[in-house]
Structure 1
């Protein structure tokens, strides 16, 4: 089997959805523990997300700065977005997000890593892609609104982002996971060793 996470599902004796929002909901499950007791678990039900670490030919990463109300911070992040359509191909969603948020396209796509962002309280799964061979999209820009209307874009050297993460100055989970994963890959077998962009994703099965 190797050293890997494995699927498992404990018995649920009761479930309820006390809140349903625009994109996510809250669920309460009564779960049977190994000792036979029943524990109540509250968690957020999430459609899943994609994120894009876009690396240019100079070794800089495309990042954006956006206000995040729950944490009362403007965070530097990599482009990301929800999987709004059930069964949506995550690569197509990632390409859309890179276009909408940065007006950029990429020639080479790889799966950098897959993560559960907060498995103790949310079922959100995120696929982080590495995108290379960047170029500007010609034509009209996507019309942004709400928090996205205030976004700032920048290209920052990868090692500057790594230093910011380790110094405690950068906190967005997709950025943190992305830049540290890419640094490990570049110091090891290289980006071409990464999984193909259409690699299976059991956490969020999708159509080709």
Structure 2
């Protein structure tokens, strides 16, 4: 099987010129294979989880949210940061699904793991598949800022796949998630996906 492999080139100096609320920017001096040194700036990110919540009519729960850096209102799947170092990603995904959509799920699988922009950021995202979804009990989570203006819909998977391939949908977790789901459906089947507690070397956690 073709697979990525861990490797770490020698760093001779490092600094953090910017530290934000959730992420920071790091500058490393990295030794190249020919012995020269190059400067590499990148965003340091805690990692994220995202959820493709699929109902029994083959529809996916999506949210429409304003994203200021790209000046667009994007259709997305529920997602959020791994706020606590070593946090169990399944627990984080269950929390995000509850907070953003007030939904719970009976069956969880790992759909796909990706690095969002490995040339400039170390963010790793685990995308889960959630099935057997239903309304959560209790009061809805109180949201603020951009999340207070979110729309929610259930859209047929086929429409989301078409929208991603047609260039109409641009959120990376949505595009990667729905395309991976379609590939799994037409391949070995959803029950062949990894279990929700599968190891994740990019963001090790306590089961």
TM-score normalised by the shorter chain: which range applies? Answer: over 0.9
1:199 maps to which residue? 198
C-alpha distance in structure 1 between counterparts of 2:82 and 2:183, whole Å: 27
Does residue 1:101 correspond to 2:100, yes or no? Answer: yes
Structure 1 residue 178 displacement after superposition: 0.3
TM-score (ref. length: structure 2): 0.99
Deviation above 6 Å: which 4+ runs of structure 1? none
Q: CA deviation at 1:139?
A: 1.4
> Is 1:166 the equivalent of 2:165?
yes
The DSSP-based 3-state class of the residue aligned with 1:100 is: helix
2:115 corresponds to which residue?
116
Tell me how far apart the structure 2 counterparts of residues 192 and 125 of structure 1 sit (CA, whole Å). Answer: 24
**Counterparts of 2:67 and 2:29 in 1: how far apart (Å)?**
32
- Indicate whether 1:135 and 2:121 are aligned: no
**What is the distance in 2 between the residues matched to 1:40 and 1:170?**
34
Give the equivalent residue in structure 1 for 2:182: 183
| Alpha-carbon separation, structure 1, partners of 2:168 and 2:95 | 28
1:1-208 aligned at under 5 Å gives the runs 2-208=1-207
Q: Deviations over 1:158-208 (max 9, x none)?
A: 000000001100000000000000000000111000000000000000011
Alignment gaps of 5+ in structure 1: none
Aligned partner of residue 203 in structure 1, secondary structure:
coil
Count matched residues.
207
Determine helix, strand or coil for the equivalent of 1:52. strand
> Secondary structure in 2 aligned to 1:196?
coil
CA–CA separation in structure 2 for the residues paired with 1:139 and 1:36: 60
Q: Aligned-pair RMSD on alpha carbons? A: 0.4
